[in-house]
Amino acid sequence: MRRVVSSLLMAAVLAMPTAWPAPAAAAGHHRIGYDHYSLKIDGKRLYMWSGSFHYWRLPSPDLWLDVLEKMKAGGYNAVEIYFNWAYHSPRRGVYDFHGIRNVDRLLDMAAKVGIYVIARPGPYINAETDGGGLPAWLATEAGRPRSPAPDYTAAYRQWLRHIDPIIARHQLSNGTGTVILYQVENELWNHSPENHRYMRAIERQARADGITVPLMGNHNAGFQGGIGAVELPGYDSYPLGFDCSHPGRWKGFYAYHDERQALTKSPLFFPEYQGGAFDTWGGAGYAACRKLTGPAFERVFYESNIAAGSTMQNFYMTYGGSNWGWLASPGVYSSYDYGAAITEARRLTPKYAQQKLIGTLLASVPAIDKTDVFTTPAPDNTALQVVGRVNPDNGTRFYFLRHADVTSRSDEFTHLRVQVADAPGAATHALRIPQQAGSTLRIHGRDAKILLADYRFGRQYLVYSTSDWLTSVTADGRDIAVLYGRKGEAGETVLHVARRPQVHVLDGQVSSHWDAHLHSLRLDYRHGQLARVLVDGGRRPLLLLIGDNAVAERFWRVDTAHGPLLVRGAYLLRSARVTGDEIALRGDTTAPGPVEVFAPQGVHDLRWNGRAIATQATASHSLTASLPGPRPVTLPTLAHWRMHAGAPEIAPGFDDSRWRRTDLKHTGNPFWDGRLPILNADAYGFHHGNVWYRGRFTATGSERNLLLDAHTGIHDGNHGVLSVWLNGHWLGTRSGGERKFVIAPDQLKVGQDNVLSVLVSNMGHNQEGHSGDSQEPRGLTAATLTGALTPIRWRIQGARGGETPPNLVRGPMNNGGLYGERAGWSLPGYPDAHWASVKLPQKVATPGVVWYRTSATLDLPADQDLPVAVKISDTPDRHYRALIFVNGWQVGRYINDTGPQHVFPVPTGILDPRGRNSIAIAVWNTAERGGLGKVSLVAQGNTLTPLRVHLNDSPAFKLGSRRQP
Ligand code: GAL
């Protein structure tokens, strides 16, 4: 009976964190408040430790849950989400929230996981995505985006009226979800009166749509006052910038001291603090970005932000994902891995481990939520700097130690003069630490430490420690604390204990010193393998677990209805649930290995992902068990390919009679100078991917050059190209811009019909500043012949359906206007049996388009998470670019002579792990040395997991469904 009641109770409060109210179960209304120290939920302070994640860069809803669970497990209590207007709206008035666009489902998941949400619906988001999230159809309208123009105003209101009510349904304030903040616009740098009114208009709309949570800004603390002011202004900061080619090059830390002082009503808030860096075509690659912004950067900079008094930090990005389809803005490529804590293939990195260390500290030491700076003597070694902060209510002190110059790599030693109270409530006095003879504090290379003093935890009192503090919990009648430091460095921890304790060193080497006068126990040790010390004699037994960083990273602090629980081991611990004498854990392993659970009293049975596992009790009163690992898996090789020529548009006799004539007489696009014909692809509804133009003219014989003005992406240097053919002869491939193509006299058919075929890439619409950059045309804008002013009659062809794609499942950004895309060659089930068989790699000497198709039948274990990627290997001396389709989804864009991306993750859900997968690759050979390299499937990880992924709807080719394009 007892068991039934307790499990019911537990179901109600499942996943309830102790440090903040449980979002999932929190029925009823909640107050989200704040003062200049921190956010407060129902009056309780919160250190907001948050990460950015874009659902639209992970097109498989079940994987959203995976990312959210990983974030929660890694110590994040919030997730910051951009809602991408363009992703939901293919044309004015049409909004789609189904399937991979079902954000209701996403917000439900966040509530289920128990993670707060910072909602950022724009209207403008930037984010290195096409148009910065502004829908491409705005490029056909006159009004400048982010201005009071009536057409723009009507457009963004439409978006807000769709997205706001969804966000509103999931607000913590209503008790129906976990949304706690709402961002108004994004990086509106210009704080003009007009922009203040624009902000106010968005805010009024949000309130009218039911948004009740506080409104925040990411405008470098603009809009703090006056019309349209936000309640929580924030700073965004990318102190290392975005050049990953020098991954060791750091810039200095800016401490925001003046800004902290100036903010009297709200906390020092970073809606975006550097969590990685985006990379550009031809860039250094994300391994370099991850190195640049690695664990040392996280430790030094994020801890310095805490030292500066910030209690709201969000890291952009924590999971970056992919610019699948044509999601990218010009400049960036398909991977948006960002060098983030969690990789594009959802793997956990050392950056995640470091984030977990800090996040776990913040979740377990509430004193950090309210601190004032206090003056503390400089370290003996002036190469180092210390900042002191104290909680004014309970006296807990924090010492933040680092190099004075954060970029320094030197190895420094020092003593610190700290203020300590030897017993709870006693007067403080100065003390030089470390006290051990011959010992010093050390900052070895780029490093930082947070030391605690005068800290009450459980029934214990910590006078100070020279180790970093991870966490403390209470389990089985004892307090347990985890401390750590750099491998090999000395540490000392001093506790106040009422009477002389018995000190049992259960593991490792720890010496203890009892000061009977002060009632203080000092433990001296070196950080390394896990040491365990049981201190018995205080108000409750205390188990201290001490190790180096690697040891600390193995711990998971997980919330249960019984309070936070400590588990050691496993690749990932997703959740824990205690029922009677059993504890059920859900998590992932990369190999068989031990797990240790510091379980509540009376718990001796363990379930791992639903399966009972034998346990053993340890001298530390914990349970250990052996967890199973995944089976090794081999992926099939892609040996059998079929190939088909893919640019019939080049042939003079190609029938383009059903193509759209470029006969518009007017476009609202502000870049239009009044000249006809209007060639701008956006004007004809072709907003994404490649477009074809075919032009006809009757040659006089004097035509010498073809001048084309092609717009492929910002400044046009961004690897967008166009290829041109005259009567089937290749005239060349050039990058976007004003380009000249020379016509040889023998290529002309004098007195007859001549045909130009032009293939133009669209690398995405520019992000928007304040000058309409996002409306810059795409495709051609002007075409003239020199030698003779012969007029050209043009037709244009782009993605099938334009703003009305044949289905919304994959959406308007999945395809462009290649013949094969229009004919369904990218789709599963396309009948390619009549195509020629081919082996890869292949060399192709003719510029144009060639399609390749194959399939891969997989049979991966259902209980394993095995992220699969398509890899193209080739040397950069061949000139081609490729679109990669898996089951009809465009998962990547490859440019062989530019790089840097060769590996294209395919989210499970798009990939069928237990079925046949269609792979289609469309290659645009941009020169006479084209082809396609070796293509293979690679595994990017392998874990045994409770994660289950449903397949996306992936509409297949249907006979008869495709007319001749
Ligand atoms: C920020 C912007 C983000 C993103 C980031 C760089 O300033 O708000 O949307 O573009 O820069 O990745």
pLDDT tens-digit series, residues 465-475: 999 999 999 99
How many Å apart are CA 529 and CA 425, to the nearest integer?
A: 35
pLDDT at residue 715 is higher than 90: no
Q: CA–CA distance from 273 to each of 182, 218, 231, 312, 350 (Å)? A: 17, 11, 19, 10, 18
- Name which of 220-224, 340-344, 594-598, 949-953 the model is least confident about: 220-224
- Binding site membership of 279 for ligand 1 (Cβ less than 6 Å): no
Residue nearest to atom 10 of ligand 1 (CA): 127
Residue pointed to by tokens 């900061």? 237
| φ and ψ at residue 362, rounded to 5 degrees | -65, -35
For residue 278, the ligand 1 atom closest to its alpha carbon is: 12
pLDDT in tens, 203-217: 999 999 999 999 999
Q: CA–CA distance from 893 to each of 720, 760, 763, 882 (Å)? A: 12, 15, 10, 6
Residue nearest to atom 6 of ligand 1 (CA): 127
Pocket test for ligand 1, best of 130, 240, 272 (most atoms within 8 A of CB): 272
pLDDT at residue 267 is higher than 90: yes
Pocket test for ligand 1, best of 54, 183, 187 (most atoms within 8 A of CB): 187
- Binding site membership of 80 for ligand 1 (Cβ less than 6 Å): no
Which token pair is 152? 């723009």
Report pLDDT for 537.
87
Distance 316 CA to ligand 1 centre (A): 8
Distance 932 CA to ligand 1 centre (A): 34
For residue 82, the ligand 1 atom closest to its alpha carbon is: 9
Residue nearest to atom 4 of ligand 1 (CA): 127
pLDDT at residue 485 is higher than 90: yes
Q: CA–CA distance from 460 to each of 424, 428, 478 (Å)? A: 9, 18, 10
Is 14 within 8 Å of 561 (Cβ atoms)? Answer: yes
Report pLDDT for 2.
31
Is 544 within 8 Å of 483 (Cβ atoms)? Answer: yes
Report pLDDT for 189.
87
Residue nearest to atom 11 of ligand 1 (CA): 127
Distance 138 CA to ligand 1 centre (A): 21
Mean pLDDT of 842-859: 98
Report pLDDT for 507.
97
pLDDT in tens, 363-396: 999 999 999 999 999 999 999 999 999 999 999 9
How many Å apart are CA 207 and CA 13, to the nearest integer?
A: 30
Q: CA–CA distance from 320 to each of 301, 491, 702, 736 (Å)? A: 20, 37, 54, 28
Is 494 within 8 Å of 535 (Cβ atoms)? Answer: no
Which of the 8 DSSP states describes residue 487?
T
- Binding site membership of 272 for ligand 1 (Cβ less than 6 Å): yes
Is 491 within 8 Å of 531 (Cβ atoms)? Answer: no
Pocket test for ligand 1, best of 52, 85, 128, 323 (most atoms within 8 A of CB): 128
Mean pLDDT of 339-354: 98
Q: Pick from 603, 612, 617: which is nearest to 475 by CA?
A: 603
- Binding site membership of 716 for ligand 1 (Cβ less than 6 Å): no
The count of C-alpha atoms lying within 13 angstroms of the C-alpha of 955, restricted to the half-sphere facing its C-beta, is 14
Distance 830 CA to ligand 1 centre (A): 40
How many Å apart are CA 330 and CA 766, to the nearest integer?
A: 6
Mean pLDDT of 398-403: 98
Residues 6+ apart with CB under 8 A from 237: 254, 270, 272, 273, 274
pLDDT in tens, 283-333: 999 999 999 999 999 999 999 999 999 999 999 999 999 999 999 999 999
pLDDT band at 827 (very low <50, low <70, confident <90, very high): very high
Residue type, 855: S
Mean pLDDT of 30-50: 97
Considering the candidates 69, 80, 185, 187, report the single residue annotated as catalytic: 187
Report pLDDT for 623.
97
- Name which of 11-25, 536-550, 848-862 the model is least confident about: 11-25
Report pLDDT for 28.
72
Distance 709 CA to ligand 1 centre (A): 30
The whole-angstrom distance between residue 492's C-alpha and the CA centroid of its chain comes to: 38
Distance 767 CA to ligand 1 centre (A): 10
- Binding site membership of 775 for ligand 1 (Cβ less than 6 Å): no
pLDDT band at 27 (very low <50, low <70, confident <90, very high): low
Torsion over CA: 463, 467, 469, 470 (sign): negative
pTM: 0.96
* 3-state SS class at 22: coil
For residue 236, the ligand 1 atom closest to its alpha carbon is: 7
Q: Decide if 187 is catalytic.
A: yes
* 3-state SS class at 76: coil
Q: Decide if 272 is catalytic.
A: yes
- Binding site membership of 237 for ligand 1 (Cβ less than 6 Å): no
The average confidence (pLDDT) of the chain is 95
Which token pair is 930? 């084209």
Considering the candidates 203, 231, 272, 303, report the single residue annotated as catalytic: 272
- Binding site membership of 126 for ligand 1 (Cβ less than 6 Å): yes
- Binding site membership of 293 for ligand 1 (Cβ less than 6 Å): no
For residue 317, the ligand 1 atom closest to its alpha carbon is: 12
Residue nearest to atom 9 of ligand 1 (CA): 127
Q: CA–CA distance from 473 to each of 271, 558, 587 (Å)? A: 30, 10, 20
- Binding site membership of 128 for ligand 1 (Cβ less than 6 Å): yes
Is 73 within 8 Å of 556 (Cβ atoms)? Answer: yes
In the chain, % of residues over pLDDT 90: 93
pLDDT at residue 339 is higher than 50: yes
- Binding site membership of 84 for ligand 1 (Cβ less than 6 Å): no
Which token pair is 701? 């014989």
Q: How many other CB atoms are there within 10 angstroms of residue 898's CB atom?
A: 16
For residue 128, the ligand 1 atom closest to its alpha carbon is: 10
Pairing, β 641-645 against β 848-857: antiparallel
Q: What is the distance in angstroms between the CA of the first residue and the CA of the last residue of the chain?
A: 69
| φ and ψ at residue 879, rounded to 5 degrees | -110, 95
Pairing, β 510-515 against β 520-526: antiparallel
Distance 336 CA to ligand 1 centre (A): 12
For residue 767, the ligand 1 atom closest to its alpha carbon is: 10
For residue 186, the ligand 1 atom closest to its alpha carbon is: 8
- Binding site membership of 206 for ligand 1 (Cβ less than 6 Å): no
Residue nearest to atom 5 of ligand 1 (CA): 127
- Binding site membership of 127 for ligand 1 (Cβ less than 6 Å): yes
For residue 218, the ligand 1 atom closest to its alpha carbon is: 8
Distance 132 CA to ligand 1 centre (A): 9
Distance 126 CA to ligand 1 centre (A): 6
Residue nearest to atom 3 of ligand 1 (CA): 127
pLDDT in tens, 724-760: 999 999 999 999 999 999 999 999 999 999 999 999 9
Q: CA–CA distance from 642 to each of 645, 843, 933 (Å)? A: 11, 14, 14
Report pLDDT for 961.
56
pLDDT band at 22 (very low <50, low <70, confident <90, very high): very low
Q: Is 823 left (phi over 0), alpha (psi -120 to 50) or beta?
A: alpha
- Binding site membership of 125 for ligand 1 (Cβ less than 6 Å): yes
Pocket test for ligand 1, best of 84, 146, 188, 236 (most atoms within 8 A of CB): 236
pLDDT at residue 26 is higher than 70: no
Q: How many other CB atoms are there within 10 angstroms of residue 165's CB atom?
A: 12
* Rounded CA Rg of the chain: 31
Report pLDDT for 240.
98
How many Å apart are CA 731 and CA 723, to the nearest integer?
A: 8
pLDDT at residue 192 is higher than 90: yes
Which token pair is 954? 């992936």
Distance 910 CA to ligand 1 centre (A): 28
Report pLDDT for 378.
97
For residue 126, the ligand 1 atom closest to its alpha carbon is: 9
pLDDT in tens, 761-808: 999 999 998 889 999 999 999 999 999 999 999 999 999 999 999 888
Distance 136 CA to ligand 1 centre (A): 19
Which token pair is 452? 């605690």
- Name which of 24-33, 175-184, 541-550 the model is least confident about: 24-33
Distance 127 CA to ligand 1 centre (A): 5
For residue 277, the ligand 1 atom closest to its alpha carbon is: 12
Distance 312 CA to ligand 1 centre (A): 18
Distance 379 CA to ligand 1 centre (A): 37
Report pLDDT for 465.
98
- Binding site membership of 186 for ligand 1 (Cβ less than 6 Å): yes
Distance 166 CA to ligand 1 centre (A): 24
In the chain, % of residues over pLDDT 70: 96
* 3-state SS class at 650: helix
For residue 187, the ligand 1 atom closest to its alpha carbon is: 8
- Binding site membership of 187 for ligand 1 (Cβ less than 6 Å): yes
pLDDT in tens, 581-615: 999 999 999 999 999 999 999 999 999 999 999 99
